[in-house]
Each structure stands twice: as C-alpha cells, then as structure tokens.
Structure 1
Amino acid sequence: MTTIENGSGTRELAGKRALVTGGSRGIGAAVVRQLLDAGAQVLTTARSKTSTVPEGATFVEADVRTRAGAEALAAAAQEVLGGVDVLVHNAGGARPHEGSSAIPDEEWQDALDLNFLASVRLDSLLIPGMRERRSGMIVHVSSSAVLTPIGPFLHYTTAKAALENYSRGLALELASLGIRVNAVSPGRTATPGGEQTREQWAEVSARMGGAPAETNADDTPPLGRDGQPEDIAHAVLFLVSERASWLTGRNLVVDGGEFPMG
C-alpha cells in the first residue's frame, strides 16, 4: 500500500476520524484503504460484511436506507470513533427497468432512500458535532449517469441529481463554519456492483429490443480504459485533505474523459 504524506512527511489525515458508508467492496473499500493509508481511523459500514473490507478498518452492519439505521450508525460512530471528522457517503445503487413507467413506486422510494435521503439523514446526525468543532469534510458519491439520464435508471439518476443539488446547498450553508461539502461523480468503473448492473441492463435492453452502449466493447472512455476503484478513491482523498481546503460545493466528475467540459 502507498502511504499518503504531505510535504512534511506526515500522513495527512493522521488523527482524523472517518466514516465511510458502503465500504465493504468496490469504490467504498478503495476509499477506506486510501483513508487508512493517509493515517485516518476508519469506521465503515454496509448491509453485510464481505471479505474485501480493508484490514485496519472497523466494520459495523447497518442499513442506511432508514432513519433508524442512520441513527444506529451515528451512535456506533460516536462509540467507536468518538466523533466524525470525515464523512464519505458511498452507499448507493438501483436496478434497471424497462423504461421509467415500469419502475414501481416502492423502487422509486428505495432509490431515494438509499441514494439521497441516507446522506441527508446521516448528515443531520453528524453535522452538529462538526459545528461544535467548526471543522469537517463531507463527500457525497454521485454518478456521471446524472449527465445522461435514461428511462431504465431514471429513479437512480433522479435521486443522485437531488443529492448533487443538496450538496451544493449544504456547502453554502456550512462554509462559514469551516465544514466543506463536495461530491464525486464516478464514470464507468470496474466494480462488482457496476458489473452486475451492466449485466442487468443488458438483459433489460434485450427485452426492449436493443443493446445499451455500456455493453459495447468499443465504448471505452477516451483515456482508454474503464476506471478502477482507486481512481475514484484518489479523488475522494483529495477532497477531504487540506490540499482541497479552498474547495467546497464542487462536483468532481471522474470519468476518463467521457463527459468533457462544455
């Protein structure tokens, strides 16, 4: 593992206490590893533990889709860490349907609970401690799919769009208190969850009589490869570090050039 140091040779997040949701695999696990390497004490969570939870992190099972789950996680963070300085919301996902009209009400609600309201609820529980310390870093993991919303995933991209709008507003609200809020929007990234979603989308598209672009072998981002979880984790680490001390209310799209600046 690579030790992340600042110019003085000290691990840049030494002494910081971090909470990462959805940290049992993929992007979340990569974020946990980066934070640990940078010297942070890390608590991570998911609905179930996997063998890929990074060694050195404390894991608790939690379902952040509900207020009760968020409250239990906030209590665990207080017990294990004594407070949270760095909060990374990575938990998210949804399954595709044959167009927006085929998405049942309960899956609209589930997408909102997991991809948007989970962050709102957990933030509301942990921000008071940051206010007291007049310091804190929050990162909401969104998705570059918000830039090209389509029917089969409209519940997901709508929830992530709400998350981005909320992030900007929260950043403005908290800036004077020394609390920074930013978002990261990954593009096509090689993760177990991403692969499963692409397989589901291919099946749905076949039933609809087409093939999604993401299943095409030549649909590679301009930089010539799919992203790796570490690519996203590096962006998260930058945003929670002092190197980004003058950045708040931003959405960092990490997509290999798929959506260049307009």
Structure 2
Amino acid sequence: MTGFLTLEGKRALITSGTRGAGAATVALFRELGAHVLTAARSRSDTLSEAMFVAADLTTTEGCATLTAAVHERLGGVDVVVHMLGGSSAPAGGFAALGDADWAKELDLNLMAAVRLDRELVPAMVEQGRGVVIHVTSIQRELPLPEATTAYAAAKAALSTYSKSLSKEVSPKGVRVVRVSPGWIETEASVRLAERLAKDAGTDYEGGKRIIMNSLGGIPIGRPSTPEEVANLIAFLASDRAATITGAEYVIDGGTVPTV
C-alpha cells in the first residue's frame, strides 16, 4: 500500500471542523484512517457526539475544555491542525478598529493556537513525534485595509509564532508547518458572492469576479475548494512529508503576485 497516502491510526485534533475547509479536512483525515476529534461552538449534524467537543476556543476556558477532551477521548495526539480563523471586524479601515475589535481578532486567529499548543505540544515532544499545522492566510502578505487589517496582522503573528515554534521543537521530533490559503469557496464565501452579485445586478459568477478583482485577480480563474486545501493539509500531516518543517505552503491559485 506504499502507493497511497495514509493517516492510519494517527490521533488528530482539527479545530473548527464543522464547516468549510475544516469540515473537508475532518472528512479526509477520517477517510485516510485517522482518529479525529474536532471542536467548534456548535455541532454539525454530520458529526457524531464522540468526535465533537463544543468549546469557544477564543477563551482560555474553551481551550482547557478541548485539551481535557483530547486526553480523555484520544489518549494524546499525533497531529494538531489549527483551522480556526476568520474576521468579524467592522469595515472602515484602521480607525474603525477599537481595542475590543483587536482583542477579538487576536484571540480567534492567534491565541487559540498558542494556548492549545502550550497544552498539547509538550506531550508530543515527550513522545518524540508529532505534527502541528497552523492555517494562516495570504492576507499576512496581502492585507485588505478596508476590513481585514486586524485579521491580517493576527495571521502574520501566527505565521511568525509558528516559525519560532518549529525551530524549538523540530529537533525534538515535532514538525511544525503552515498552510496559507487564499480565497476558498466555502459556504460563507458563496453567500458573500451572492450578496455582491445581487447588489451589482449580476449573477453568481459575476459576484465571484468581484471578489477575485478585489484580490488583484486569481491567475487560475477560480478560488480553491475546501477539498483542495484539505488535500494539502493531509499530505503535510502524513509521514510522506517527514522532512518538511518550518515551511509555509501557499494555496491561492497564484493570487500573491510576488516571489
């Protein structure tokens, strides 16, 4: 079976696994043989009770709840995939962002990963193996100042933190890598494209073009699918990527126009 990618027997925690790329990653990891636990604020109907934890990971209490569940249900962890992220900050540029907006973006896009790593990575180091995958964003390089300044800054901080963590724990057997998506055609982005299309008096494809134009264009002419992002994450989590650590893999259809 050396011709096939496998995660057989690996114990995996995937945050925010109920929708979008997170849900696609959960599904693929299970298909490849991993024992998966995921968490979000509310459970999807497609997930069993045994593989889901209801927790607000923007809080220290929520991260502690999930950590306890990892030990209780999985008996430890071999792979942690930090999918959690997003932005609810108001539009209006930097001046519209108050301290509460900044704190919210940082807790969601940076501190949840920091807190969970602090609880889970030491056991990986002790067992001499493990993989941590931080999902960042191309906006750390290509921020959209009208509405996502705080999100982009938080993801940039996550990327720097991830690199530092990799330098510390890779010599101890724990790989740390980053996946940096561009626009992913999730349920939320479909709703956004539909709303933009309605406002502009065009169809869904026209709404997608509005989004792509706001990003400066996507050379392949479309966003990534959740499944395509999941494919990259699964490869990086697998033993086939055994010498990959400290690196960031961009999956954006060519959106970022620089080297």
Give the TM-score band, short-chain normalised.
0.7 to 0.9
Out of 50, 62, 73, the position equivalent to 2:55 is 62
User: 2:231 maps to which residue?
Assistant: 234
Between the two proteins, the alignment pairs up a number of residues equal to: 247
Letter of the 1:14 counterpart = E
For residues 217 and 234 of structure 1, the distance between their equivalents in structure 2, rounded to whole angstroms, comes to: 24
Q: Is 1:244 matched with 2:241?
A: yes
User: 2:108 maps to which residue?
Assistant: 114
TM-score scaled by structure 2?
0.88
Report matched runs for 1:13-162 at 5 Å. 13-53=7-47, 58-95=51-88, 96-151=90-145, 152-162=147-157
For residues 50 and 225 of structure 2, the distance between their equivalents in structure 1, rounded to whole angstroms, comes to: 21
For residues 255 and 50 of structure 2, the distance between their equivalents in structure 1, rounded to whole angstroms, comes to: 33
Deviation for aligned residue 1:6: 3.6
Q: Is 1:169 matched with 2:201?
A: no
Task: Give yes or no for contact 1:36–1:56 (8 Å, CA) kept in 2.
Answer: no
Deviation for aligned residue 1:50: 2.2
Letter of the 2:239 counterpart = E
Deviation for aligned residue 1:214: 6.8
For residues 252 and 57 of structure 1, the distance between their equivalents in structure 2, rounded to whole angstroms, comes to: 32
More off after superposition, 166-175 vs 90-99? 90-99
More off after superposition, 97-106 vs 181-190? 97-106
Instruction: Give per-residue Cα distances to partners, 1:15-41, cap 9 Å, x unaligned.
Output: 110000000010000110111111100
For residues 30 and 248 of structure 1, the distance between their equivalents in structure 2, rounded to whole angstroms, comes to: 23
Task: Give yes or no for contact 2:193–2:211 (8 Å, CA) kept in 1.
Answer: no
TM-score scaled by structure 1?
0.87
For residues 177 and 109 of structure 1, the distance between their equivalents in structure 2, rounded to whole angstroms, comes to: 33
Which blocks of at least 5 consecutive residues in structure 2 are unaligned?
Answer: 201-206
Letter of the 2:254 counterpart = G
Instruction: Give per-residue Cα distances to partners, 1:189-247, cap 9 Å, x unaligned.
Output: 101233456678x6xxx9xxxxxx97617645212321100111011011111111111
Which blocks of at least 5 consecutive residues in structure 1 are unaligned?
Answer: 207-212
Tell me how large the CA RMSD over aligned residues is. Answer: 2.5
User: 1:256 maps to which residue?
Assistant: 253
Letter of the 1:67 counterpart = T
